[in-house]
Amino acid sequence: MDNRSLTAQGIRPAGCVHWNLVSPELIQQAVRRDEGMLADMGPFVAVTSPHTGRSPNDKFVTMDPDVAQDVWWGKVNQPVSPENFGVLLADVQAYLNGSSDLFVQDLWAGADPAHRLSVRFVSPNAWHMQFVRNMFLRPTSADLPGFMANFTVLHAPEMQADPKRHGTRTSTFIVLSFAKRTILIGGTRYAGELKKSIFTVMNYLMPKQNVLSMHCSANVGEQGDTALFFGLSGTGKTTLSADPHRFLVGDDEHGWSDDGIFNFEGGCYAKAINLSADGEPEIYRTTQMFGTVLENVVLNPQTRQVDFADQSITENTRVSYPMHYIKRHVAGGRAGHPKNVIFLTADAFGVLPPIAALSREQAMYYFLSGYTAKVAGTERGVKEPQATFSACFGAVFLVWHPSRYAEMLGKLLERHDARVWLVNTGWTGGAYGVGSRMKLGHTRAMIRAALSGELTGVATTTDPVFGLSVPNSIRDVPVNLLSPRTTWADPKAYDAQARTLAEMFAKNFEQFAEGVNSAVRSAGPRV
């Protein structure tokens, strides 16, 4: 079969098919087709309204007989019948057949060839294919003639689903079929759906190969020491891993195998709100480069310069760039077994310590909890901080039950003697609206001290509510910052807030209590 054919995908296009265009060609096509515009210094800017973020409630997994017993069914993995998938697939194929132009990118997910997924993306939009070309691993021209897709993504951003006909919730759809090895995405232009749909696939396939799939960033120090950073959006995962003193492996998705860790991707997808050259120089530099894709940022109409503080379209502005745009990156996307694992949380209640060492049991508890918090003002009607618990720091991307990933992590931590830290990048001196956000410089100093081994043997204090071991002193960090209660003007208000959060932890963990031993159950906050 001709490799440059979409017959295997059931597509027989009437229009022109553009195969594996390189970035200048894709951006030239995107501008010509009025899909967006070029900003000052050359990045491409697209607006995805009304969808400016993922639509997790519109994601479905086909209830194929061979995988039905594996999947963690529920709110995260909503079932759709094979029959409904077949109808939707046929309609997406017909939609793409009628497009005047189609763009195809053949790419890899997984820097380790032993655990690599070959993915064919098909879309009517050139800029979306520039996005995936940034985000995934690009085969060489010598690799492409023999490329055989293990999975296909059919992207129909302007197509609207019919819930009655297709079994979807709304006109937006992200539907995976492991039996057909196909993902259907439509009703949304938000590019993050393309990226995260592949992560969901890897989250299913990797554990079957005894590889832990992780929602984390990773970097390597000058001495070859690897560190992992787990965290939900907004906790600093991308920012903290892009450390000018270390080498970046990847900012979001990795596998941990018997040979070490490897990036699933070939690029980064960072939040761009309030981005500055002073605060995040490595990431900011990428926004001044041709080939970078900016989503939902606001441009000055005269100068075409980006106003990174403007959130009139959305707070969730994004920048997508290939890994090599970060000067200090690990070519090849692979590294050794981590010596340190960091769980990031943005505690808007302002009660968690800025850094604490975790025991093995506490690591399992906080990994399954996956805590961070939304802040007031980010969503209509949110007046107070809202706790968010997302198992394994990425529940919306899991396919197996969270306990499978947690069990694998526990064994790997034990086998490779990795230290685990909980780092609060959220608020201090009070909750959101009263206290202030942790300074990035202080957080970086704490993490560098942990990774360098400076905290080994340092005297600690056990937090009376959360039971965490908090260092008494860290170089370049104010001493009072390390004890959150002392940063509050009203200690009794701190106590009440800490109890409230502890109760939220306990309530959330009830769903996992039967699947863990008593030591892990007892490792949480003391209610």
Regarding whether 388 and 314 lie in a shared domain, the answer is no
Whichever domain contains 309, its CATH number is 2.170.8.10
| pLDDT at residue 483 tops 60 | yes
Regarding whether 343 and 300 lie in a shared domain, the answer is no
Question: Tokens at residue 418, please?
Answer: 């990795």
Identify the active-site residue in 115, 189, 195, 196. 196
- Does 189 participate in catalysis according to the annotation? no
| pLDDT per position as a tens digit, 257-307 | 999 999 999 999 999 999 999 988 999 999 999 999 999 999 999 999 999
Average pLDDT rounded to a whole number, residues 496-504: 96
Regarding whether 500 and 356 lie in a shared domain, the answer is yes
Regarding whether 176 and 148 lie in a shared domain, the answer is yes
| pLDDT per position as a tens digit, 130-172 | 999 999 999 999 999 999 999 999 999 999 999 999 999 999 9
Regarding whether 402 and 373 lie in a shared domain, the answer is yes
Confidence of residue 384 (pLDDT cuts 50, 70, 90): low
What's the pTM value of the predicted model, to 2 decimals? Answer: 0.94
- Does 252 participate in catalysis according to the annotation? yes
Report helix, strand or coil for 48: coil
| pLDDT per position as a tens digit, 59-111 | 999 999 999 999 999 999 999 999 999 999 999 999 999 999 999 999 999 99
- Does 169 participate in catalysis according to the annotation? no
Beta strands in 285-367 (DSSP E): 293-295, 298-299, 306-307, 318-322, 334-335, 338-345, 355-358
Q: Is residue 129 assigned to a domain?
A: yes
| pLDDT per position as a tens digit, 452-481 | 999 998 999 999 999 999 999 999 999 999
Are 62 and 81 spatial neighbours (Cβ–Cβ below 8 Å)? yes
Identify the active-site residue in 59, 215, 485, 521. 215
Count CA atoms closer than 13 A to 316's CA, side-chain side: 15
Are 98 and 14 spatial neighbours (Cβ–Cβ below 8 Å)? yes
Are 391 and 399 spatial neighbours (Cβ–Cβ below 8 Å)? no
d(CA 308, CA 239): 15
Q: Is residue 343 assigned to a domain?
A: yes
- Mean pLDDT of the residues in the chain: 94
| pLDDT per position as a tens digit, 28-41 | 999 999 999 999 99
Q: Is residue 246 assigned to a domain?
A: no
- Does 443 participate in catalysis according to the annotation? no
- Which domain range does residue 133 map to? 7-36+53-208
- Does 388 participate in catalysis according to the annotation? no
Identify the active-site residue in 48, 51, 54, 442. 54
Q: Is residue 527 assigned to a domain?
A: no
Whichever domain contains 355, its CATH number is 3.90.228.20
Q: Is residue 459 assigned to a domain?
A: yes
Regarding whether 321 and 277 lie in a shared domain, the answer is yes
Identify the active-site residue in 59, 115, 246, 318. 318
Q: Is residue 2 assigned to a domain?
A: no
Are 157 and 191 spatial neighbours (Cβ–Cβ below 8 Å)? no
Regarding whether 382 and 295 lie in a shared domain, the answer is no
- Does 51 participate in catalysis according to the annotation? no
Whichever domain contains 103, its CATH number is 3.40.449.10
- Does 238 participate in catalysis according to the annotation? yes
Identify the active-site residue in 62, 217, 238, 320. 238
Regarding whether 392 and 316 lie in a shared domain, the answer is no
Identify the active-site residue in 51, 115, 120, 237. 237
Regarding whether 182 and 78 lie in a shared domain, the answer is yes
- Of 208, 223, 250, the position where a domain reaches its end is 208
Confidence of residue 331 (pLDDT cuts 50, 70, 90): very high
> What total of structural domains would you count in the chain?
3
Count CA atoms closer than 13 A to 5's CA, side-chain side: 6
Regarding whether 104 and 64 lie in a shared domain, the answer is yes
Q: Is residue 249 assigned to a domain?
A: no
- Does 81 participate in catalysis according to the annotation? no
* 44-46 and 293-295 beta bridge pairing: parallel
